[in-house]
Structure formats: C-alpha cells, structure tokens
Chain A
C-alpha cells in the first residue's frame, strides 16, 4: 500500500482514547446537549463511514451545517443551467449536480428530454471536451472555495473560446456568520474543513471568533483527525476560549496557500446571494470578474428562465427540511419523508441528491447513525 503512511490515522486504539476524552469533556461541560457544527460533507461522510457517531457521548450533538455545496445551490442557479441545456447548449458539470431539483426540472430531466449534458470529475476534463468541437460548452461549476480554485486555474490556463463557466461557486466563511447569528441556534463551536482552510489559511477565521465569541477548530478527514478536532473544540468550549485552533497542521498554515488564493481572487469576486434553504449570504457567492466576462456564461448567453416558471414544484417539496437541517435546527430523522417518499433513487430535496448531503449520507449508512447509548 503506497499510502500506508496514513494508516496510523485510522488506529482504533487511539480513536478509542480520543472518544473517551470526548465523553469526559462533554460531561465536564455539563450541558445537555453540547452542540457543535461542522460545515463539510467530507466530515459527515467520514463520521458516517467510520461509525464515529456511535462513539460520541449522547449529550454531544455534532451537527452538519451548510457544508454541501450542491445542497445550497439556489433554485434559480439550477434553473439557469436547465434553461441553457434546454435551449441546446452543451453543459458539463459534476455528477452531483445532475439530479438537483430546479423549479421545474433537474438537469437529468432535461437530459432525458434530449439536452446534451456531460458529467465530469474535474474542470480540466470539461476544458478537454470543449476542445473536441467548436460548439459552445458551458461548465456548470459548483463547490466551495477549494473547488473554485480549480475552476479559476482552468480559466487562467487559456481554455478554448467556446468554453465558458456558469458559476454557482460558494464561499464558506460568510455563511458561518449567518448560522452563528440565526435565532435559536445553539452552536457552541465550529469544526472547519481542513481542505478549504488549506487554501484560505486558518487566519481567515480569526475575525469570526472575535465577533461571535465561539471557537473554531480546523480539522482533517481521517477518523483520528475528526476525533482530535472535536476533543480540541470541547476543550476550548469548556475553558470558554473563543479562539482558532489548527488541528490539521500537515496541510493548513496561518496564511494558507497564497498561490491558490491569488488564482481564486484573480478570477472570482465575492457577491451576495441566496443559499438554498439558508438565507441571503452577503459575499457568499463567487462570481466571475469583469475581466473574465468573455468566459462568463451569464454574459455570453441570454438565459430565459420564464419558460420554466409555468410548472409547479412537487407538493412534497414543501415538506422538505433541508434548510432546517443545514441550519442545525432539525435532523433527517425529523423529516416524515426520509427513507419513505424521499430516497437517493427518488430524492425530494437536494440534501438527498448529493453524496455530500446529510440525508443522503444518513440514508447510505443505515438510516439513523445516531446509535445513541452512552458508549
């Protein structure tokens, strides 16, 4: 195994010791529940895959916030892609975007009706596809800053003229502010995603902890990374210390990856916009700068959304709790449709579509990974 250097980061003995530390810290804090939030689908996947929730003390509530970029992609953004595809423009996008419901339909439904849509795993692949013909190709780009860096690098790499980008990219730090200010929110600390912080640096969270008086711990994605990150977070909560702690030093520095930041901000600018189910997030969207107008699908095509608005959304959609789940005020177990009317094969909400959505992850790993008990 060439990647064996990472095996110790899954060592069950260390994991057990860290889980026991979590129990002691939770009971010492003495509140029930102690709620902390992570904002990353990869954290939720690792928590589910390695069964970590079963090792959390009962009184510790680890909530997945708005950490799924596909889930927070707003309806009009999906509609723009569907309208472009339906008007005959070839679209390339990440697989998770295909079945996200728009107002009237998803890209998958547009595809079934004859639109040309290619699933890619990297923006580089979309650029290659554009090179194979002279027809316009629009890359429908979703993802947080880490993914946006790749899109930016591709645009700086002189893609062909027929290549353009429909950006639904989002920027995480501003949404943490929104969640922290939500009425009824009980979040006492945030676990920040290690790879986003690899780009931005952990310093990006310093103003946040000062403003909100809540600690932030940057953590990686191996089981021990997550457990150790939570232990550190609970220590800070216990001691009432609102500071940033970096538990992922093998990747994250204070100032982050400058080269990647330069790439990101040369191409994108922050803009306010809606995150589905959450709120309007000032500076939460990444849009192309004017210098890249030639590669901005929103400026190259006139996108007509009115054709989509004659259709009523499915009545089930009104019951979807995705927004509440991402804000940390509900869990999939509280949704009457979960696992019944809403499954990965027939998803009602975006949280069930994306492999990073809370509902999808809970469904994939056996329904309700809250195994409870005081283990």
Chain B
C-alpha cells in the first residue's frame, strides 16, 4: 500500500491521466499533484493519485548526486579511489 511507484504519462484528460507502469496502463488522478502534468512526464503514484511530477532529466541528476557522494567519500579515504575509478569508468554507458 505504501508504494510510491513511478510511471510515464501517456495521456491527460482533465484531472485524470493514463500512465504506463512497466508496461501496465492505469488511470491516475491528478487532484493533488502540484505541477501541471503532460504526456512524457514521469509521475510518482500512490494508491491511484499522482503525488509528484518527475521530469526525466531529474533521474540523471540523481545519479550525479550519488557519484558526488562517492567522490566525497573517496577524498577522505584513499583506499576508495579504485572503487570510484571503476564507477567513473563504467557508470556512464548504461541505458
């Protein structure tokens, strides 16, 4: 019940959106989301209500944040350098 599941908006009609969740289409209410939602956006859904619009670009920003975290950690601990190096070398090419 407590699942915040993200899905991609296919269509919007009034206060209701059709959203794709990993291949399953559902209708989601837009009554409480605090930004306009358009097809192509991601939304965080909770029990049939969108609670947040997530621009796709934010996913990349999240990954950058995690790499920053590792880089900061790595400055304090030289032994972590190899791990961070591996991360930087292999982290960028994934879909």
**Is the pair A17, B3 in contact by a Cβ cutoff of 8 Å?**
no
- Give chain B's interface secondary structure class: mixed
Q: What mask results when residues 7 to 48 of chain B are scored 1 for a CB within 8 Å of chain A, else 0?
A: 110000000000011110000010111100000001010111
**Is the pair A249, B65 in contact by a Cβ cutoff of 8 Å?**
yes
**Is the pair A198, B47 in contact by a Cβ cutoff of 8 Å?**
no
A149 with B1: in contact, given A224-B66, A259-B33 (CB under 8 Å)?
no
Report B-chain residues with C-beta under 8 Å of the C-beta of A221. Answer: 3-4
Docked pose: A223 CA to B94 CA in angstroms: 16
**Is the pair A21, B2 in contact by a Cβ cutoff of 8 Å?**
no
A307 sits at the interface (CB 8 A)? no
Report B-chain residues with C-beta under 8 Å of the C-beta of A4. Answer: 95
**Is the pair B58, A194 in contact by a Cβ cutoff of 8 Å?**
no
Report B-chain residues with C-beta under 8 Å of the C-beta of A157. Answer: 31
Most chain B CB within 10 A, of A68, A122, A147, A224, is at: A122
Report B-chain residues with C-beta under 8 Å of the C-beta of A68. Answer: 2
Q: With both chains docked as a complex, state the minimum distance between the C-beta of B31 and any C-beta of chain A, in angstroms.
A: 4
Task: Select from chain B the residue with minimum beta-carbon distance to A228.
Answer: B66
Docked pose: A74 CA to B33 CA in angstroms: 31
A2 sits at the interface (CB 8 A)? yes
Report B-chain residues with C-beta under 8 Å of the C-beta of A194. Answer: 4
Task: Select from chain A the residue with minimum beta-carbon distance to B56.
Answer: A5
A257 sits at the interface (CB 8 A)? yes
Docked pose: A17 CA to B58 CA in angstroms: 22
A178 sits at the interface (CB 8 A)? no
Interface size on B, residues (CB 8 A): 48
**Is the pair B4, A147 in contact by a Cβ cutoff of 8 Å?**
no
**Is the pair B23, A2 in contact by a Cβ cutoff of 8 Å?**
yes
Q: What mask results when residues 63 to 78 of chain B are scored 1 for a CB within 8 Å of chain A, else 0?
A: 1011101100100010
Pick from B2, B48, B51, B52: contact of A40, CB under 8 Å = B2
Docked pose: A147 CA to B34 CA in angstroms: 16
A9 sits at the interface (CB 8 A)? yes
Report A-chain residues with C-beta under 8 Å of the C-beta of B49. Answer: 122, 149-150, 153
Pick from A147, A228, A247: contact of B1, CB under 8 Å = A147
Report A-chain residues with C-beta under 8 Å of the C-beta of B34. Answer: 257-260
**Is the pair B91, A198 in contact by a Cβ cutoff of 8 Å?**
no
Docked pose: A40 CA to B54 CA in angstroms: 21
A257 with B51: in contact, given A3-B20, A195-B44 (CB under 8 Å)?
yes
Q: With both chains docked as a complex, state the minimum distance between the C-beta of B82 and any C-beta of chain A, in angstroms.
A: 10
A3 with B7: in contact, given A17-B86, A150-B48, A257-B33 (CB under 8 Å)?
yes
**Is the pair A250, B70 in contact by a Cβ cutoff of 8 Å?**
no
Q: With both chains docked as a complex, state the minimum distance between the C-beta of A123 and any C-beta of chain B, in angstroms.
A: 7
Task: Select from chain A the residue with minimum beta-carbon distance to B42.
Answer: A5
**Is the pair A9, B32 in contact by a Cβ cutoff of 8 Å?**
no
**Is the pair B22, A3 in contact by a Cβ cutoff of 8 Å?**
yes
Within 8 A of B (CB), among A230-262: 231-232, 235, 247, 249-251, 257-260
Q: With both chains docked as a complex, state the minimum distance between the C-beta of A221 and any C-beta of chain B, in angstroms.
A: 6
A6 sits at the interface (CB 8 A)? yes
**Is the pair A153, B31 in contact by a Cβ cutoff of 8 Å?**
yes
**Is the pair B4, A146 in contact by a Cβ cutoff of 8 Å?**
yes
Q: With both chains docked as a complex, state the minimum distance between the C-beta of B81 and any C-beta of chain A, in angstroms.
A: 11
Q: With both chains docked as a complex, state the minimum distance between the C-beta of A278 and any C-beta of chain B, in angstroms.
A: 17
Report A-chain residues with C-beta under 8 Å of the C-beta of B67. Answer: 14
**Is the pair B94, A7 in contact by a Cβ cutoff of 8 Å?**
yes
Pick from B32, B42, B47: contact of A259, CB under 8 Å = B32
Pick from B1, B23, B44, B69: contact of A143, CB under 8 Å = B1
10 new A-B contacts at CB < 8 Å, known A3-B21, A24-B73, A70-B1: A2-B8, A5-B42, A18-B70, A24-B80, A42-B4, A143-B47, A224-B66, A249-B58, A250-B59, A257-B34
Please report B residues at the A interface, Cβ cutoff 8 Å. Answer: 1-4, 6-8, 20-23, 29, 31-34, 42, 44, 46-49, 51-52, 54, 56, 58-59, 61-63, 65-67, 69-70, 73, 77, 79-80, 83-84, 86-87, 90-91, 94-95
Please list 14 pairs of residues, one from A and one from B, whose beta carbons are closer than 8 Å in the complex, sorted by A's number: A9-B63, A42-B3, A122-B47, A125-B48, A146-B51, A149-B51, A150-B32, A198-B52, A199-B51, A221-B3, A228-B66, A249-B58, A258-B34, A259-B32
Question: Sorted from nearest, which 9 A-B pairs have the closest CB atoms?
Answer: A122-B48, A195-B4, A250-B58, A260-B32, A259-B34, A153-B31, A150-B49, A5-B59, A228-B66
